[in-house]
A and B are shown apart, each in its own frame.
Chain A
Amino acid sequence: MRTKRRPVTKLMVLLAVLLALFHLSFLWGRLEVPLPQVIGILAERCGLSVTPTWTDTMAVAVLHIRLPRILLAAMVGCALSAAGTAYQCVFQNPMASPDILGASSGACFGAALAILLGHSGGGVTALAFGFSLLTVGLVYLIGRRARGSRILNMLLAGMMVSSLFSAGTSYIKLVADPSSKLPEITYWLMGSLSGAQGKDVVFFLGPLLMGLIPLVLLRWRVNLLTLGEEEATAMGVDAARLRLVVIFCATLLTAASVSVSGMIGWVGLVIPHFSCRLVGNDCRYLFPASMLMGGSFLLLVDNISRNLLATEIPIGILTAFIGAPFFLYLMTRKEGA
């Protein structure tokens, strides 16, 4: 497998793809806004003086509907993929995904609870985010207390606590008002970026940077975690502390993603794998590749989700429709490569 050839060039190509997709995404939508107008609207928003050739509706569509949604799609894709990559390295397990420690099921429980209690918008996001962090914190503490392999214990604790919160979510659905709250909960759980607003982007930016910056800086050392605790320690890395930092960052990214967009599965599992095929396992290149590719992937899927049919398809359903077959294709291709 020739994975190491010119990884930097590959990262540049991925960046170019993301930027191209970012700009193209403004063109697709119910209201047609041609490219010159899009550029004009964005340029004026950036403070340049441009003679308006567009209608107010176009400006609203571009700036208040499409811009936040496009930004959020790219950011969530980036965050979920980075989190997936981080979890896979920490647990030395290519099957790990961002929900492995229960960050997603915790967030879902929080969101369902918030909707049940009559919150909407910011309240749902906040409660989802809080419960997500709480769940992973609980898993971490239980994993520490148990005897035997720390990593295995944490994975087991993750599965158990996850199913506990999933049961909680099911119970909330059971008692929720079937005419108003139940559909809302169900729709939220499917995952969607519709209704993304500027304030979602602002909320997301904090956890995104807090999670991504340490991961990017520490990415060489994360390589050593994949060798196991004993070898990493012998090479001078405080494996336990590094693992805690990486888990914390990945959890922050997952919690923030799920709380603004609902359950968007598969991105955090499939994208790290595909990035790995492209640039190899070295986290120095794997993390940036994953982040760029994740952003592009979710942006692309979100474009399909809002344009393919007259009614929007929740993005969580689409990522599974696209992600699962794609993953199977990669798996069966593996040996011949």
Chain B
Amino acid sequence: MGILVQGVTCAYGSRPVLQDVTFSAQKGEFLAVLGPNGAGKSTLFRCLLGSMRGYSGTITVDGEDLRTLSPGKRAKKIAYIPQSHRPTFGYSVLDTALMGTTRQRSPFLSPGKPQVERAREALRRVGADHLEGREFSRLSGGEQQLVLLARAIAQDSEILVMDEPASSLDYGNQLRILSMVRELTEEGYTILLSTHDPQQALWFSHRVLALENGAVAAEGPAREVLTADLIRRLYRVDTAFWDTPQGPMILPEVKL
């Protein structure tokens, strides 16, 4: 069960972006994807989400090759929470969440009562039900991220792929959204989340996948894999690890 990525290689033209990427995530696991800008995180996600089809290697979910699945069936396996979402046209919060349910109905039908119920339930789950009638584009960044999370929950997929969901949020909202994501793993969701903050990966994730120049630099349990060496290799920053009662703290060595 879960997701298994084997030997995925892909290139934009002649420039290789992913090279022989292999990893897996079990059901209920929180996998943080780390790596410097341009390491291939977004491309990897695009392969998972079906918008990048020209890769070699295989991606299987519950034993089924993603490439053989129709868009609707793939959406049942994997949902996507974009980093930020600037809609050209304004939709209400409820309609935004409702879009997640689209694959549950025939293409020629609009969402019915069960779908509206499902969307409301998802909004309640993330604590955004009071926003239902508001317009999505007028919400704060934190509220928008919650609604996008609700949209993915309404999609009823097992795996949630999140592209730096915390990057545009304030300190408090970053921690709240990541705690909520962690809670979701206890309900059986598998999370693949890219982040630029090794500290957050260390606190919230079970396992870490580190990418460097499109290849896997390290993969394994967060507390084993995340070391000062790895961080120096990925980001060219020296760090010290401090053990605290709440777990290790990463302190960057910066000149002040």
Chain A residues at the B interface, C-beta cutoff of 8 Å: 1, 3-4, 89, 92-94, 217-221, 223-224, 226-227, 229-231, 233-238, 242, 276, 280-282, 284
A227 interface neighbour in B70, B74, B92, B99, Cβ under 8 Å: B99
Known: A94-B89, A281-B91. A234 touches B75 (CB 8 A): yes
- State whether the Cβ of B49 lies closer than 8 Å to any Cβ in chain A: yes
B50-81 contact mask (Cβ, 8 Å, vs A): 1 or 0? 11000000000000000000111111101110
Contacts of B70 in A (CB 8 A): 238
- Whose C-beta in chain A lies nearest to the C-beta of B79? A234
| Distance between Cα atoms of A94 and B89 in the complex (Å) | 8
B184 to chain A, nearest CB (A): 17
Of A218, A229, A236, chain B has the most CB atoms within 10 Å of the CB of A236
Contacts of A284 in B (CB 8 A): 110
- Whose C-beta in chain A lies nearest to the C-beta of B46? A230
Which 5 A-B residue pairings sit nearest by Cβ, starting from the closest?
A: A236-B75, A236-B103, A234-B80, A281-B89, A217-B108
A236 interface neighbour in B46, B71, B82, B135, Cβ under 8 Å: B71
> How many chain B residues have a CB neighbour from A under 8 Å?
37
A221 to chain B, nearest CB (A): 6
B95 with A231: CB separation less than 8 A: no
A280 with B92: CB separation less than 8 A: yes
* 10 residue pairs bridging A and B, Cβ less than 8 Å apart: A217-B108, A227-B87, A230-B82, A233-B49, A234-B78, A234-B79, A234-B80, A235-B75, A235-B102, A242-B107
B102 with A224: CB separation less than 8 A: yes
Contacts of B78 in A (CB 8 A): 234
A249 to chain B, nearest CB (A): 13
Known: A235-B100, A235-B155. A230 touches B49 (CB 8 A): yes
Contacts of B80 in A (CB 8 A): 230-231, 234-235
* Additional A-B contacts beyond A92-B88, A227-B87 (14; CB < 8 A): A1-B135, A3-B90, A217-B107, A218-B108, A219-B110, A220-B102, A220-B111, A223-B91, A226-B89, A229-B51, A234-B50, A235-B80, A236-B72, A284-B110
Known: A229-B51, A231-B85, A234-B51. A223 touches B99 (CB 8 A): yes
- State whether the Cβ of B1 lies closer than 8 Å to any Cβ in chain A: no
| Distance between Cα atoms of A235 and B88 in the complex (Å) | 18
| Distance between Cα atoms of A87 and B17 in the complex (Å) | 34
| Distance between Cα atoms of A236 and B79 in the complex (Å) | 9
| Distance between Cα atoms of A1 and B78 in the complex (Å) | 34
Contacts of B82 in A (CB 8 A): 230-231
B108 with A236: CB separation less than 8 A: no
| Distance between Cα atoms of A223 and B101 in the complex (Å) | 13
Contacts of B89 in A (CB 8 A): 89, 92, 94, 226, 276, 281
- State whether the Cβ of B254 lies closer than 8 Å to any Cβ in chain A: no
Of B72, B78, B89, B111, chain A has the most CB atoms within 10 Å of the CB of B89
Of B70, B71, B95, chain A has the most CB atoms within 10 Å of the CB of B71
| Distance between Cα atoms of A281 and B137 in the complex (Å) | 12
| Distance between Cα atoms of A3 and B92 in the complex (Å) | 9
B114 to chain A, nearest CB (A): 15
B74 with A223: CB separation less than 8 A: no
A233 with B50: CB separation less than 8 A: yes
A123 to chain B, nearest CB (A): 37
A223 with B95: CB separation less than 8 A: yes
Within B90-131, the residues touching A (CB, 8 Å) are: 90-92, 95, 99-100, 102-103, 105, 107-111
A235 with B133: CB separation less than 8 A: no
| Distance between Cα atoms of A189 and B74 in the complex (Å) | 49
| Distance between Cα atoms of A235 and B151 in the complex (Å) | 9
Contacts of A231 in B (CB 8 A): 80, 82, 85
| Distance between Cα atoms of A223 and B71 in the complex (Å) | 17
